[in-house]
């Protein structure tokens, strides 16, 4: 039997050589294929144009530049086709189209009763889910054109009713059958319609370091006619809230510009930056002995400041309805607490009020016995509860300041401004992220890929974020962290919305980035570095730019309400 032949060393070497060569060739082909696809993908002029537009959008110096760039970017990404097509599973487009046609027909018919009835019958802020956030994260410059046209038609109908002359007294049949037969009936119509539609409140959160961001947010809203008439704040944000509600609209822009031009002459007092310490003293000087009632009469806005008193005898939410004679400056100092920039160890904060003769007296002396101890105040929160401290999960107690505000002012829509630094759970989707458009070539959507974490259900993300924040606050509380430091690291939890079982209908969060180009850590270090000159104008500009991507959804939710406010005010003057 012949033994099996063995391969010679030369044969084995040749086999290894050809194997190595084939492997190298396969890697070469794969690499050239990858480089070819990479070249064709990223060398497209359209892709470079979208990249340039994205950069221009981020660095836009004004809203006019931002808006023009947003329209160009939507055209490059194909989002304009999405806006033109009314169909979408995100809202009831058939209902909105039918409502728009019905309102237009009623307006053109010349029968004001039909138009008034049609408006009152379905005038809801979120009718057909037109206020759903997903409708405003696809395109940069707006949402479905059908939604914008519907809101514009509602506004035209309201203005048409306001401009319609009141029937003359001798025209008895026409006057008897008209819902707007007199000035009083017209006032009642606009008042009742506004009451049914609900009110919007601007809720300010955080701000011990970069509180002037709230001023920038308000400035941007004011320039676009979208600044709410109800403003709320607690702790450091009470400073910005008091500032906005102490100046009428005609003087607010110039007053904000004066704040931006003032240089800080105060040192930082952790956790308050020197910028905020200077702003606190400037606000108190501007307020003087102004009361809540006087501030409302001056600006037309309802200021709400939350307190955390040691006794139940003192209201936990101060405004022109619950405490009209209390001075705003003392309420701000009490909301900041004993560690605030307006308090000293020898002079803890106390509430003061103005009597009928204009004399300033202590507020607690009006209802507490003379031998009773004076109430003390700690840092307040809009969502705190008796059974939970200010860092707990948002309270739904009827005694919480937030719930009290929504009941007093019929609030069903919130604009929540969050000043940096604010904690976000790593891996959560960016609220400003625009999704990848459909029916568009991949070469034009290089910068519009969905976030890789978007596959996680939103409910799971929200639950994980709440649990993580709760654990961090618990650790900070057990470790004995001061309230001021906790306020800087973990801002107050957002008020509950309808999805969380709260009493409000809609809520939109405006979260500004830290000022500067080197990130949050560098911005915080610079804020407490006495050698660095803090620029209030830059911080205010950051707040302004944070509003620009959200203006369309704010307009969609608030435009009808603000038109009703203006028309009701005009009807009351007649």
Mean pLDDT on 485-498? 52
Any idea which residue has 């003057």 for tokens? 573
pLDDT: is 564 or 207 the higher one? 564
Tell me what percent of the residues of the chain surpass a pLDDT of 90: 40
Q: Residue 515: pLDDT band by 50, 70, 90 thresholds? A: confident
Query: Residue 308 pairs with which residues in a beta bridge?
Result: 378
**Is pLDDT of 544 > 60?**
yes
Q: Which position has the token pair 């606009």?
A: 190
> To which residue do tokens 């990479």 refer?
38
Q: Which pLDDT score is estimated for 394?
A: 39
Least confident among 142-146, 155-159, 430-434: 430-434
Q: Evaluate if residue 540 carries a pLDDT over 70.
A: yes
Q: Which range among 1-10, 61-70, 276-285, 458-467 has the greatest average pLDDT? A: 61-70
Token pair, residue 21, equals: 């060569």
Q: What is the pLDDT averaged over residues 208-232?
A: 93
pLDDT(444) > 90: no
- The pLDDT-based confidence of 2 (bands split at 50, 70, 90) is very low
Q: Give the model's pLDDT for residue 289.
A: 93
Please tell me the distance from the alpha carbon of residue 137 to that of residue 407, in angstroms, as a whole number.
Answer: 31
| Residues contacting residue 216 through CB under 8 Å, at least 6 positions apart | 512, 539, 540, 541, 542, 543, 544, 545, 546, 547
Query: What CA–CA distances, in Å, run from 496 to 134, 272, 405, 424, 502?
Result: 19, 27, 13, 17, 5
At 419 the pLDDT is 86
Beta partners for 508? 415
Collapsing DSSP to helix, strand or coil, 285 comes out as helix
pLDDT of 235 strictly over 80: yes
CB burial of 499-516 (b: ≥16 within 10 Å; e: otherwise) equals: eeebbbbbbbbbbbbbbb
pTM of the model: 0.80
Mean pLDDT (whole number) for 94-99: 96
Mean pLDDT over residues 451-455, rounded? Answer: 40
Q: What mean pLDDT, rounded, does the chain reach?
A: 77
Given a contact cutoff of 8 angstroms between Cβ atoms, the answer to whether 275 and 208 are in contact is no
Residue 239's pLDDT band (cuts 50, 70, 90): very high
Say if residue 448's pLDDT is above 50.
no
User: Picking from 128-132, 216-220, 403-407, 551-555, which range would have the lowest pLDDT averaged per residue?
Assistant: 403-407
State residue 207's pLDDT score.
85
Give per-residue burial for 336-360: e unless 16+ CB within 10 Å, then b: bbbbbbbbeeeeebbbbbbeeeeee
CB 24 within 8 Å of CB 32:
no
* Residue 516, helix vs strand vs coil: coil
For the ranges 121-130, 432-441, 466-475, which has the lowest average pLDDT? 432-441
Res. 97 pLDDT band, cuts 50 70 90: very high
Q: Give the CA distances from residue 26 to residues 32, 40, 231, 504, in Å, rounded to whole numbers and listed in that order.
A: 10, 21, 66, 62
Say which residues have a Cβ less than 8 Å from residue 411's Cβ, sequence separation at least 6: 198, 199, 200, 201, 230, 405, 504
pLDDT over threshold 50, residue 6: no
* Beta carbons of 289 and 361 less than 8 angstroms apart: no
What integer pLDDT is reported at residue 242 of this predicted model? 96
Cα 333 to Cα 324: distance, rounded to the nearest angstrom: 17
Task: State which CATH number among 3.40.1090, 1.25.40, 2.60.40, 1.10.150 fits the domain covering 198-432+455-557.
Answer: 3.40.1090
> Which segment of 228-237, 330-339, 489-498 scores lowest on mean pLDDT?
489-498
- Tracing tokens 């939507």 back to the chain, one arrives at 74
pLDDT band (50, 70, 90) for residue 559: very high
Q: How far is CA 303 from CA 180, 229, 323, 418, in A?
A: 33, 9, 11, 18
Taking only the tens place, the pLDDT of each residue in 249-260 is 899 999 998 887
Distance CA 550, CA 62 (A): 15
As a whole number of angstroms, the distance between CA 29 and CA 32 comes to 5
Q: What is the pLDDT of residue 150?
A: 97
Confidence of residue 181 (pLDDT cuts 50, 70, 90): confident
38 — pLDDT class (breaks 50, 70, 90):
low
Whether 425 has a pLDDT exceeding 90, the answer reads no
CB 380 within 8 A of CB 391: no
Q: What is the mean pLDDT of residues 283-310?
A: 93
pLDDT at 430: 41
Least confident of 203-212, 343-352, 415-424: 415-424
Domain locations in the chain? 81-195, 198-432+455-557
- For the cut 70, the answer to whether the pLDDT of residue 7 exceeds it is no
Least confident span in 272-286, 458-472, 508-522: 458-472
Residue 127 near residue 99 (C-beta atoms within 8 A) = yes
Q: Choose between 109 and 312: higher pLDDT.
A: 109
Most confident of 424-438, 523-537, 548-562: 548-562
At residue 454, the pLDDT reads: 43
What's the 3-state SS for 427-489?
Answer: CCCCCCCCCCCCCCCHHHCHHHCCCHHHHCCHHHHHHHHHHHHHHHHHHHHHCCCCHHHHHHH
What pLDDT score was predicted for residue 50?
81
Q: How far apart are the first and last CA of the chain?
A: 123
Highest mean pLDDT of the ranges 18-32, 117-131, 354-368, 414-428: 117-131
Within 10 A of 31 (CB to CB), how many other CB atoms are there?
10
Is the pLDDT score of 1 beyond 90?
no
């Amino acid at each position: 039997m012949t033994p099996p032949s063995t391969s010679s060393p030369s044969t084995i070497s040749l086999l290894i050589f050809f194997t190595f060569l084939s492997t190298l060739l396969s890697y070469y082909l794969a690499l050239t294929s990858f480089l070819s696809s990479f070249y064709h993908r990223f060398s497209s002029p359209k892709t470079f144009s979208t990249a340039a537009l994205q950069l221009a959008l981020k660095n836009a110096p004004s809203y006019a530049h931002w808006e023009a760039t947003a329209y160009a970017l939507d055209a490059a990404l194909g989002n304009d086709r999405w806006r033109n097509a009314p169909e979408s599973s995100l809202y009831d487009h058939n209902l909105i189209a039918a409502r728009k046609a019905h309102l237009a027909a009623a307006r053109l018919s010349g029968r004001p009763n039909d138009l008034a009835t049609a408006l009152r019958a379905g005038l809801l802020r979120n009718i057909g889910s037109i206020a759903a956030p997903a409708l405003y994260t696809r395109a940069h410059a707006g949402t479905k054109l059908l939604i914008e046209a519907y809101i514009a038609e509602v506004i035209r109908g309201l203005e048409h009713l306001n401009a319609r002359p009141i029937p003359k007294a001798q025209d008895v049949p026409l006057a008897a059958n008209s819902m707007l037969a007199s000035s009083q009936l017209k006032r009642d119509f606009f008042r009742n319609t506004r009451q049914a539609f609900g009110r919007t409140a601007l809720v300010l959160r955080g701000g011990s370091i970069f509180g002037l961001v709230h001023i920038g947010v308000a400035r941007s809203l004011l320039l676009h006619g979208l600044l709410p008439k109800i403003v709320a704040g607690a702790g450091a944000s009470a400073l910005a809230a008091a500032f906005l509600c102490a100046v009428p609209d005609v003087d607010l822009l110039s007053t904000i510009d004066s704040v931006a031009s003032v240089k800080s002459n105060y040192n930082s007092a952790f956790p308050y930056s020197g910028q905020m310490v200077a702003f606190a003293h400037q606000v108190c000087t501007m307020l003087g002995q102004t009361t809540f009632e006087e501030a409302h009469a001056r600006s037309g806005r309802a200021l709400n400041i939350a307190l955390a008193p040691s006794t139940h005898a003192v209201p936990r939410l101060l405004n022109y309805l619950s405490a009209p004679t209390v001075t705003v400056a003392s309420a701000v100092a009490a909301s900041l607490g004993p560690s605030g920039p307006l308090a000293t160890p020898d002079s803890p904060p106390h509430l003061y009020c103005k009597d009928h003769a204009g004399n300033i007296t202590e507020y607690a002396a009006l209802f507490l016995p003379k031998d009773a101890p004076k109430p003390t105040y700690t840092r307040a929160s809009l969502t705190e509860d008796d059974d939970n401290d200010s860092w707990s999960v948002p309270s739904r107690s009827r005694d919480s300041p937030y719930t009290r505000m929504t009941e007093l002012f019929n609030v069903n829509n919130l604009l929540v401004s969050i000043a940096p630094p604010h904690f976000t759970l790593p891996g959560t989707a960016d609220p400003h992220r625009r999704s990848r458009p459909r029916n568009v070539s991949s070469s034009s959507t290089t910068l519009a890929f969905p976030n890789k974490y978007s596959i996680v259900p939103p409910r799971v993300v929200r639950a994980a974020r709440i649990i993580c924040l709760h654990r961090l606050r618990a650790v900070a509380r057990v470790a004995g962290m001061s309230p001021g430091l906790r306020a800087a690291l973990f801002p107050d939890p957002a008020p509950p919305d309808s999805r969380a079982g709260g009493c409000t209908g809609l809520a939109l969060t405006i979260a500004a980035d830290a000022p500067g180009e080197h990130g949050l850590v560098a911005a915080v270090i610079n804020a407490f570095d006495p050698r660095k000159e803090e620029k209030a104008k830059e911080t205010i500009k950051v707040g302004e730019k944070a509003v620009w991507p959200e203006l369309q959804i704010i307009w969609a939710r608030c435009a009808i309400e603000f038109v009703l406010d203006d028309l009701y005010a005009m009807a009351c003057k007649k």
